[in-house]
Structure 1
């Protein structure tokens, strides 16, 4: 482990605004510049990883990556992570594939919904034939709060392509509202010019994502590790991406747009768990695609840490 040498200016500002600078400094000791060795077996066993990337015009996207066990291979010294693309079940329309060819910033989140174990790996990526090699700049095991447990089964398959149906647009459609307003899980991608891309899990009670009359999304922000990586990034660059996996209907809604944190907001129902903070997100483009037909899931239980205000 190493003490994170520096938070960038946005993270420091967000920590100060939340009065959590001391908490952030303590938790920074959990950040490493390599994959911690106790996590290596966990990495090798994963079949799903969530990714943040940046496109040619600077828009940020969040993606879901699915592969056969072993498609994530840490190096012997744990300083790099190789993603074997020939073992990835590719969604051909995912912006990730073109993004990584022109911008090496990548954020990865390994999340095992069945056990609530998760590990964040950020770095710089480059393509080597059928491999995506990530030079790890930061890795940290993060807390399991707000994760809803699910079993996810995906039988091995020789078909490496997901269903090819795609819809896309600029303004959210009425058909998206049910997914957004019933979800209990999504992923938020942000980026900083020099500190790289980052993706984080966001979970809450079903209905915690509110669609406002003007189409903006409003989402409560709960207590976390105090480092405010996402909030700090959007203070500097508000461009962000969200991905909503619909495990039951086997579809995936990716949004890109602009995010901001609303601080010290009235919260009479206690939906923020006492933080008084809300995310607000304005969509500028969306893509709806399909998850593998073989995917099957079952809800196990909700996080015991969820605020009771909703």
Structure 2
């Protein structure tokens, strides 16, 4: 596998181009046995999709263990029905690019896919183009407390153009969020971000800023963002099962003076919000907090 021009540009500016190239062989187009074994027990995934206005959305998918099923070495099937008010299903009707992050919070493991989706009412089939494991950095441990698929209250959706006070409090208390990005040729990508509460700052009702810490040096997300600044963020209320989805424009910041405002930051992202979607009772799983990642700055 090779990197696209945006990824190469960020790797070069970060001074890790050679290291990134050596890591390139971890990205494959087939699902290896270790990935199949991992998927067999997983219950949480984040999907990245593009809507008809070219906005990017990060969506939550959950199910029983193994709901992301391996059909063959290049095809997976997601056996989960998205909430009707979530844009995921509708987005895939007009653009079949999908990025998928399957994450095990308890064991700090994560597996990333991207490919082409075929969607119906019962499931989503994905023809894999790229698949690779990520490192465990910045993942806070959480344990599944209960799975209540049959007794979940009806989801309620609220759409707005700006953050209200409760949104802002949610974001500033978060230790985890997910980011979706998209490259018009290389496809969609979903990734994880974590830190101590407060690592995401609300600048005003339409703008956030958050740090980027030392990672795997491949820069799939940032490479996408400098080519296409459209992005989506997802915050999950792990205890209550609510979600907060933001879509907007991301700007990568390298300014050294601004980096000093965030411990451990190597870059920043300013995120201008275009739309907010809050879904209450979005998730049938409740998680209990375990401990913070030992590498959080």
| CA distance in 2: counterparts of 1:44 and 1:246, whole angstroms | 25
- Cα pair 2:62 2:284 within 8 Å, conserved: no
Q: Which residue of the other structure, out of 273, 294, 297, is the alignment partner of 1:304?
A: 294
Secondary structure (helix, strand or coil) at the match of 1:41 reads helix
Q: Which residue of the other structure, out of 203, 208, 212, is the alignment partner of 2:194?
A: 203
| CA distance in 1: counterparts of 2:70 and 2:191, whole angstroms | 21
Q: Which residue of the other structure, out of 18, 22, 47, is the alignment partner of 2:18?
A: 22
Q: Which residue of the other structure, out of 251, 256, 276, is the alignment partner of 1:286?
A: 276
| CA distance in 2: counterparts of 1:235 and 1:242, whole angstroms | 16
Aligned-residue CA RMSD in angstroms? 1.8
| CA distance in 2: counterparts of 1:15 and 1:28, whole angstroms | 12
1:39 aligns with 2:35: yes
Q: Which residue of the other structure, out of 160, 169, 174, is the alignment partner of 1:178?
A: 169
* Cα deviations by residue, 1:236-270 (Å, 9 ceiling, x for unpaired): 11100000001123210000000011013325757
1:84 Cα deviation after fit: 2.3
Write the mapping of 1:107-126 to structure 2, written as runs, cut at 5 A: 107-126=99-118
Q: Which residue of the other structure, out of 39, 58, 74, is the alignment partner of 1:62?
A: 58
- Cα pair 1:198 1:230 within 8 Å, conserved: yes
TM-score by length of 1: 0.90
2:223 is aligned to 232
1:71 is aligned to 67
Q: Which residue of the other structure, out of 217, 223, 241, is the alignment partner of 2:214?
A: 223
Identify unmatched segments of 5+ residues in structure 1: none
Q: Which residue of the other structure, out of 135, 139, 163, is the alignment partner of 1:147?
A: 139
Write the mapping of 1:181-192 to structure 2, written as runs, cut at 5 A: 181-192=172-183
Structure 1 stretches of 4+ moved >4 Å: 267-270
TM-score by length of 2: 0.94
Q: Which residue of the other structure, out of 243, 246, 254, is the alignment partner of 2:234?
A: 243
1:127 Cα deviation after fit: 2.2
- Cα pair 2:172 2:200 within 8 Å, conserved: yes
1:192 Cα deviation after fit: 0.6
2:122 is aligned to 130
* Cα deviations by residue, 1:13-37 (Å, 9 ceiling, x for unpaired): 1111111101211111111111221
| CA distance in 1: counterparts of 2:261 and 2:125, whole angstroms | 43
- Cα pair 2:155 2:281 within 8 Å, conserved: no
Secondary structure (helix, strand or coil) at the match of 1:14 reads helix
| CA distance in 1: counterparts of 2:94 and 2:208, whole angstroms | 30
1:11 is aligned to 7
Secondary structure (helix, strand or coil) at the match of 2:40 reads helix
| CA distance in 1: counterparts of 2:57 and 2:125, whole angstroms | 19
Secondary structure (helix, strand or coil) at the match of 1:212 reads strand
- Cα pair 2:177 2:193 within 8 Å, conserved: yes
Secondary structure (helix, strand or coil) at the match of 1:15 reads helix
